[in-house]
Structure 1
Amino acid sequence: ASTARVAASAVTTVHGRVTTRLGLIGGVAAVVPADGLVQLGELAGVRAVTPDARLHFQSLQPAAPAALAAAAVDPVSVYGKEVRADLAHQAGWRGEGVTVALLDTGVASSPDLSGRVLPVTDELTGATSPCENLSGEPTCADGFGHGTFMAGIIAGSGASSDGKYQGIAPQAKLVSIKVGASDGSADVSNLLAGIQWAVSFRHRYNIRVLNLSLGTNSTQSWQVDPLNYAVERAWAAGIAVVVSASNRGPAPGTISKPADDPWVITVGAVDDRQTRSVSDDRSPDFSGRGPTVNGLVKPDVAAPGAHLVSLRSVGSSIDQQFPNYVAGAYRQGSGTSMAAAVVSGVSALVLSARPTMSPNRLKYALARTARPAAMTLPTAVGAGVVDAYAAVNAPPGLANLGLPRSSGEGKLSLSRGTVLVETNDPFQTVVQGSQTAQLLTWDPIGYLTGDWSGSTWYATPWSTARWYSTSWYGDHWVGHNWEGCSWDAGQDADCFYGHNWEGSAWYGAWD
């Protein structure tokens, strides 16, 4: 069918039952009465009706990884060395005492993250959970696979690889704020709620960094946009907000929201070419370029974001779509999401060494000590590639001096850009206009003027009303095609960064 929604409607017409929506192919899996098959095939919008079959996924956990190609089994992983995290580790800075809030699709259990993901406590009931779940799904499991990958980059210990695939800040803590469903989709209102939660409970969990490896293609001015307001409020509360630039490059003006905000640390990607030197780095075509739609120079800094090795979430959407694994527990991926996670880890290292450093001082230190890459265009890499060791010893200084702040009084609908999701309610409602993902009317005054604290969180609609999902219907989720590289050019090492996953705000490519 032309879309999964049309296909589902056709199935209902012949008294069938939809079991799974397949937004990737614009179809559904369904149980249909035998006498309705002919009618189903003749309905408008239905292109084909085919019988289902049982498939067996092979090599989900390779028994003999040595039998695979050497490049797939044992890729060089130097991103930590390129940003000189190894020197920071040798100096005794490994992220202790710092918590990074990961606003993403959840985090899967892994030996590499043992003891690092903080349990979240409901202060009303005393119950604990592996995450703050604002996704609408019933569990904290990472059904998409993106959040787990970011967690490994930020704070993975490398336990499953004898330390080989260690993250940037292996002693940092993580708190998982799940806002994305198993198809990767989420509404802007989920993000707004997640940011408010991080600010409200920052003292309880010692949240110093907020990682946002996501974005929308909204063109609403940062000066009025609610999402920009939210990240600025987190910044003002003492949380360094790290945001991926976008994967919509290489054209200028392809910085996503909220990476377009002048206050936050916006991160572009470089390809480290599997060397620790920055002299051979290039900026992949996928990495979003500045300026922003308001003419601001972005990104601020860059970090490795090509063919990074990190944790897989076994059985997740990405895991099944691209079943090429590294040493069983890991996979490779590319995108500015990964680059942002690297910078979040670097930020944790710096803050563990300099715990009194404010977000403005941290941003200044990262930019002041960044090393120029071979690609020096500021609209691609900003000040250059971050240097964890040098940033700890940076001269004092402040970023963001004299900047105005967002009023947040813009429209929620414009904050979404072209990104829309459909709920799993009986009417398959498309979340749009002033609706939140709870199907409530957006209350900008309450959001902009309310007290963001743990004592008030449980009185907000975010906490008291139902979040829909289970899961979002992805045929209404509009992603972005990557430009600048032919995804058929698999033999061209200078161009190919993996197969892109469309259909969510978590843009990325997976090897």
Structure 2
Amino acid sequence: MKKQLVILVALTLLALPAQAASGKIADDLRVKLGRDDSDLRVIVTLAEGLSPQDIDELTTGRGRGVRQQGTRGIHGKMHSSEILELAADPRVASISPDRPVTGSMDVAVAASGADAVVQNLGLTGSGITIALIDSGLTPSTAVPAARILAGVDFTESPNRDALDGLGHGTHIASTIGGSGIDGSVRGIAPSVNFVNLRVLDDQGRGYASGVIEAIDFAIRERARYNIRVLNLSLGHPVAESYRTDPLAKAVERAWAAGLTVIASAGNRGRDGFLTINSPGNDPYVLTVGAMNDVNTIDRDDDIIATFSSRGPSYGDQVVKPDLVAPGNRIVSTLAPGATLAELQPESVSGDRIELSGTSMAVGFASGASALLLELNPFLTPDQVKALLMVSAEKIPGDPFTVGAGYLDIVRAMAYIGPFPPVRFNSASPYVTPAETAGLFNLHETPALATYSKQEVRRLTRENPIEGATHVTGRDFLWVNTALWSDSTLWTDSTLWTDSTLWTDSTLWADSTIWGDSTIWGDSTIWGDSTIWG
């Protein structure tokens, strides 16, 4: 009996390292291990503080096309055995699949208030650069080559100058910054510059690793091109917590470095709540859902787009989206030879194409951010997010659908002042269900620990304003305020919403949804590589 006990203990101890290693592997990757002998695309997040020699040892001689990604990652194709071997290495923090990403697929400019800002204040986004991480950008009269400061292709089928073979990126760029010259498309910020970072190919295919490389490029080159905003009109369904998702960690690096990251909520709203996509599920970025302006300038008849994804985020329960903006049937520039024109010929009219999606809504928020930054170049991402949210028009709807409300650029301009740069915790809160049905407890998300003090010092040094009013977290506390669409929604840190909104009441009653790591255990939900369109 004693011998059996000793053997059992020994076997248990041997199993512990394997269990720990398995815990480093994302669930949607784990279910694929051992299914076949084909190599799997993965992103490996390394532990902090590794030496160049350590990173070289972990990279060399593994898989196919394996290379370093930034200072804490490697990516490429690896066999299941290699993945398991890396997971057992203490120098590895986590391993995720290199998930496919795709784009989140007039009168809307006037409806947003951008026309009034340009005409009355003369603001056009001049001097501000937006990094467009998308399917490329083809120069046009609306966005000429002179305003495209750089073009880099991160796809597996690169083309010269990172031109747009899909048509998604060019459409969004003109929505953001179309000049309107000679009858071309007029955008929100008609003088803004672009850095074109192509991550989606002509068929709209791309991978998270390419997006991460593009984000890291924007961080490195932000001072050279004066990049202040990242436009991410793309993503993939949530498959792991934002705390370990490599794409989420990349947008957090950008936010900490001083870049305002704006991401699409996703187009899965018809599937109900919990449909926000990554990286829009990250609490630190500004996540945008879509409104339907019903093709009129009058905002009073606008309604939420049925496809716009709804929060809270799956798993982490982060309150998303942060706000909504026009995103339905947006007419903008058509890139010559674009695949989208072949797929949707009924949407084409001359040199323009009509598209719908939260992708388009992100373009409106990016353009609005450029106008804010032109008026006050010293604003930090936290201040931009706070200004856009607090100035949003409060509209009917729960905060998991409309967020803080409907983007209102005129009101945002009215809120802005000669603020010096201030970093504070602007992270969107998260919720847990309260004991009373239909009530949700609201919790503050911890602040990022890696804010770039150097970036704040640089802006402060350049800022001639002394003793001006600050926009800080104290002014825009996320908890116990009327920041979201209806002040009655928030009572003593508790979120109220109509219980009839939730078609499946058991969703909120099941503690596994809100409890421990079992939330990530259903591989049948997230094992499908299908991506939203």
Normalising TM by the smaller chain, what interval? Answer: 0.5 to 0.7
**Cα distance, 1:407–1:399 mapped onto 2, change above 3 Å:** closer
- The SS at the match of 1:314 is coil
- Name the counterpart of 1:278: 299
Residue of structure 1 in register with 2:173 after alignment? 151
Residues 108 and 346 of structure 1: CA distance in aligned 2, closer, same or farther (over 3 Å): same
What residue is the counterpart of 1:258 in the other structure? 279
The CA distance in 2 between the partners of 1:325 and 1:252, in whole Å, is 29
Task: Please give the residue correspondences for 1:187-336 in structure 2 after superposition, counting only pairs within 5 Å.
Answer: 187-250=207-270, 251-293=272-314, 294-324=316-346, 327-336=349-358
The residue aligned with 2:480 is: none
The 1:107/1:504 distance shift into structure 2, 3 A limit, reads: farther
Contact kept, 8 Å, 2:290 with 2:325, in 1: the verdict is yes
- Indicate the residue corresponding to 1:180 in structure 2: 200
Mapped to 2, the partners of 1:506 and 1:153 lie a distance apart of: 22
- Cα distance in 1 for partners of 2:250, 2:532 equals 19
Partner in structure 2 of residue 400 of structure 1: 426
| Corresponding residue to 2:153 among 124, 128, 133 | 133
Deviation at 1:157, TM superposition (A): 1.1
Output the aligned Cα RMSD: 2.8
Percent of aligned pairs with the same amino acid: 39
| TM superposition shift of 1:276 | 2.7
Question: Is residue 149–residue 225 contact of structure 2 (8 Å, CA) maintained in 1?
Answer: no
- In the superposition, relative to structure 1, how do residues 317 and 407 fare at CA in structure 2: closer, same or farther (>3 Å)? farther
| Partner SS, residue 237 of structure 2 | coil
Deviations along 1:478-510, whole A, 9 cap, x unmatched? xxxxxxxxxxxxxxxxxxxxxxxxx98673xxx
Q: Which whole-Å CA distance do the structure 2 matches of 1:504 and 1:323 have between them?
A: 24
The separation in 2 between residues aligned to 1:342 and 1:281, in whole angstroms, is: 15
Ranges in structure 1 where 5+ consecutive residues have no aligned partner: 1-76, 121-130, 409-451, 453-502
The match for 1:103 is 133
Distance 1:178 1:389 in 2: 32
2:238–2:276 Cα contact (<8 Å) kept: no
For the 8 Å contact 1:94–1:170, the answer to whether it is kept is: yes
Q: Bigger relative contact order, structure 1 or 2, given CA contacts below 8 A and separation 6+?
A: 1
From 383, 388, 392, the equivalent of 2:409 is 388
Contact 2:117–2:123 (Cα < 8 Å) also in 1: yes
For residues 331 and 289 of structure 2, the distance between their equivalents in structure 1, rounded to whole angstroms, comes to 18
> In the superposition, relative to structure 1, how do residues 287 and 260 fare at CA in structure 2: closer, same or farther (>3 Å)?
same
Indicate how the Cα distance of structure 1 residues 268 and 141 shifts in structure 2: closer, same or farther if over 3 A, else same.
same
Q: Report how far residue 339 of structure 1 moved.
A: 0.4
SS of 1:208 mapped into structure 2: strand
Q: CA deviation at 1:284?
A: 1.6
TM-aligned CA deviation for residue 326 of structure 1: 5.2
Equivalence for 2:83: none
Quote the offset at 1:141 in angstroms: 2.0
Bigger Rg, which one? 2
Against the structure 1 CA distance between its residues 347 and 261, is the aligned structure 2 distance closer, same or farther, given a 3 Å change threshold?
Answer: same
Counterparts in 2 of 1:233 and 1:332: CA distance versus 1, 3 Å: same
Please tell me whether residue 347 in structure 1 is matched to residue 397 in structure 2. Answer: no
Note the C-alpha offset of 1:137: 2.1
Q: 2:320 is paired with a residue of what secondary structure?
A: coil
The structure carrying a bigger helix percent of its residues is: 2
Q: 1:255 to 1:303 in 2, by over 3 A?
A: same
Q: Look up the SS of the partner of 2:278 in the other structure.
A: coil
Matched, 1:78 2:107: yes
Q: Does 1:88 align with 2:117?
A: yes
Distance verdict in 2 for CA 1:406–1:354, change over 3 Å: closer
Alignment of 1:17-36 (within 5 A): none
SS at match of 1:215: strand
State which drifts further: 195-204 or 108-117: 108-117
Give the direction of change, closer, same or farther, for the CA distance of 1:210–1:506 in structure 2 (3 Å limit): farther
The superposition leaves residues 289-338 of structure 1 with CA deviations (integer Å, 9 ceiling, x where unpaired) of: 00001111100011000010001112121111212355511110100000
Helix, strand or coil at the partner of 1:242: strand
- Which residue is 1:487 aligned to? none
Deviation at 1:158, TM superposition (A): 2.4
Count of aligned residue pairs for this structure pair: 330
Distance in 1 between residues matched to 2:124 and 2:158, nearest whole Å: 34
Distance 1:399 1:370 in 2: 19
Asked whether the equivalents of residues 119 and 175 of structure 1 are also in contact (C-alpha less than 8 Å), the reply is yes
Alpha-carbon shift at residue 344 of structure 1 (Å): 0.6
Deviations 1:354-395, CA, capped at 9 Å, x for gaps: 11111100000000100123x422111111111112212316
Whole-angstrom distance in 2 between the partners of 1:222 and 1:406: 13
State the alpha-carbon separation in 2 of the partners of residues 271 and 264 from structure 1: 23
Shift of 1:116: 5.0
Paired with 1:316 and 1:381, the residues of 2 have a C-alpha distance of: 32
Q: What is the DSSP-based 3-state SS (H/G/I as helix, E as strand, rest coil) of the residue aligned with 1:112?
A: coil
Does structure 1 retain, via aligned residues, the 8 Å contact 2:237–2:531? no
- Identify the residue that residue 371 of structure 1 maps to in structure 2: 393
| Residues 135-184 of structure 1, C-alpha deviations (whole Å, 9 max, x = no match) | 12231121111111111111111235x25x30111000011001111111
The answer to whether the 8 Å contact 1:116/1:171 transfers is no
C-alpha change, 1:363 and 1:339, in structure 2 (3 Å) is same
Contact conserved, 2:341 with 2:348, CA < 8 A, in 1?
no
Whole-Å Cα distance in 2 between the matches of residues 506 and 347 of structure 1?
26
Amino acid at match of 1:85: A
State the AA in 1 paired with 2:405: G
Return the TM-score normalized by structure 1: 0.61
CA spacing shift, 1:283–1:365, aligned 2, 3 Å: same
**1:88 alignment partner AA:** V
Question: In structure 1, how many angstroms separate the alpha carbons of the residues matched to 2:240 and 2:407?
Answer: 29
